[in-house]
Structure 1
Amino acid sequence: MNDSLPPPPLTDELREQARRSPGAWLYAIDPFFDPEGEVPPYGVVGAWQADGRGEITGEFRRNPNYRPSPVALGYPEPSDPLDAAVQLSATGYDTGERIVPLLREVEVIVAAGPGGGIPVFDTGEGRAAFVYTAQEHLPGELPEGATGWQRILGGDLIALLPPAVGVAINPSGPVGVILPPGDLRR
């Protein structure tokens, strides 16, 4: 993932910084972080070196420990705290431990099946109910077998699901996560 992103552009501001700092390294910081604040090592994209005359040598050295943030990957602004936790977990900026507690506390949108039940789908990783954190994450069409959408508290949803069924959060969006049944019931 790190090597697939192009190097950041060389800006006039960087060139001016190089002129003021001959021989220094100029660091490119992931846009998730304030470059004037504290940046963890994984938030540094890489660096250019200024030569003795204060000119950038042109070679960009990538940080092998860099992890692109949701911002760098072009993910949309999170719609809510649960969506934010999913995005941060998917990019390695968070462990994901907050996802289930957040899910239990918030209202989510699920498909409604005939008679008001909640349909379950095969995800390739097991069976799961599809859960959407906001209207903007809903797919263009209802999932097969669904008759509409319904809102439910995440904790109530977990209590209703059979023991072998997990949850897929925002499965049709730019970033989602599948929570296996065991994770839901810890």
Structure 2
Amino acid sequence: MQGCLDVIRAAGGRTLILFTSHSMIRQVYQMMKEQLTDEPYTLLGHGIDSSNRSKLVRLFQQLEHSVLLGTSSFWEGVDIPGEALSCLVIVRLPFTPPNHPVYQGRAEQLKAVGKNAFMSLALPQAVIQFKQGVGRLIRHHLDRGVVVVFDARIIESRYGRAFLQSLPPFQVQTGTWPELRERIGPFLAQETGT
């Protein structure tokens, strides 16, 4: 959660944080609300505030220092062009839980014909969802911003390359969190660049 707070502060709000579960969003929302009490940020949470998705997006766009925490439906079909959204945080790679009934059924079918369910089903679905999530940030050729992925599997796992290769040509930076955190504000302050 500290990393998310660092991003929010570096970007001055204007941050969409994508989660893979409602329980995680509720937990982080409460902790952030306490941490950001004396700061100018408006925290909006999907499934927490009584507003529906379109109202949350509208509020996010209207409020200058807003932060939106979203789950499944925010990974796709949300359009926030321009400067209202400068940072996208992906807390965990969006894999379908292996105990999800539909996933289990499909995985069993794949195993029955000798295929690897992870490589044939879980990974392709997660990569598509990831790509859609990143697409929330860059909606127009003039849009720019920072994507922060806190799931180390994107770099450390053999399959992480599939996520990175699904993206348009982005400048990918890795390093320690203190090093990366210090680059966010200056990057967003630039008027041009990638």
Shorter-chain TM-score: what band?
A: under 0.3
Q: Which has the higher helix share?
A: 2
Q: What TM-score do the two structures reach when normalised by structure 1?
A: 0.24
Q: What TM-score do the two structures reach when normalised by structure 2?
A: 0.23
- Structure with bigger gyration radius: 1
